[in-house]
């Protein structure tokens, strides 16, 4: 749960997108291309998510393309987050935490 706070994961879309990139570490593309691959229809929202993740040091940008930064620390934390997301009860806690963080940030 500390990972969510440190990486400022404040929406289920951001969490989903980050886990999607973790599951496809070689994927590289523009914001629109990544949105299409991840089945996120709202490109402006994906652009905001990408900007947030890049600011947190989780994405690398090369020209107009982005990809997940693959440091051992990021890989380990994403692996732990992905494992937690696979477990139904911990997934529910993660989603509740993200929902609460998003509500707290908006108000």
Q: What is the pLDDT of residues 18-58, one digit of tens each?
A: 999 999 999 999 989 999 999 887 778 888 999 999 999 99
**Rounded Cα gap, residues 34 and 69, in angstroms:** 15
This prediction has a pTM of: 0.85
- Asked if the model's pLDDT at residue 106 lies above 60, the reply is no
Domain extent at residue 100: 2-106
The DSSP-derived string for 14-77 is: HHHHHHHHHHSTT--B-HHHHHHHTT---HHHHHHHHHHHHHTT-EEEETTEEEE---HHHHHH
Confidence of residue 1 (pLDDT cuts 50, 70, 90): low
Bridge partners of 59, per DSSP, are 68
Question: Tokens 């380990």, residue?
Answer: 76
Number of domains in the chain: 1
CATH label of the domain that carries residue 47: 1.10.10
């Amino acid at each position: 749960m500390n990972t969510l706070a440190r990486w400022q994961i404040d929406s289920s879309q951001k969490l989903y997108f980050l886990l999607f990139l973790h599951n496809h570490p070689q994927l590289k593309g523009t914001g629109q291309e990544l949105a299409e691959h991840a089945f996120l229809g709202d490109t402006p929202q994906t652009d905001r998510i990408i900007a947030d993740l890049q600011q947190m040091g989780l994405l690398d940008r090369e020209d107009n393309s982005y990809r997940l930064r693959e440091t051992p620390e990021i890989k380990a934390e994403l692996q732990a987050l992905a494992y937690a997301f696979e477990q139904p009860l911990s997934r529910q806690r993660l989603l509740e935490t993200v929902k609460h963080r998003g509500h707290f940030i908006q108000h």
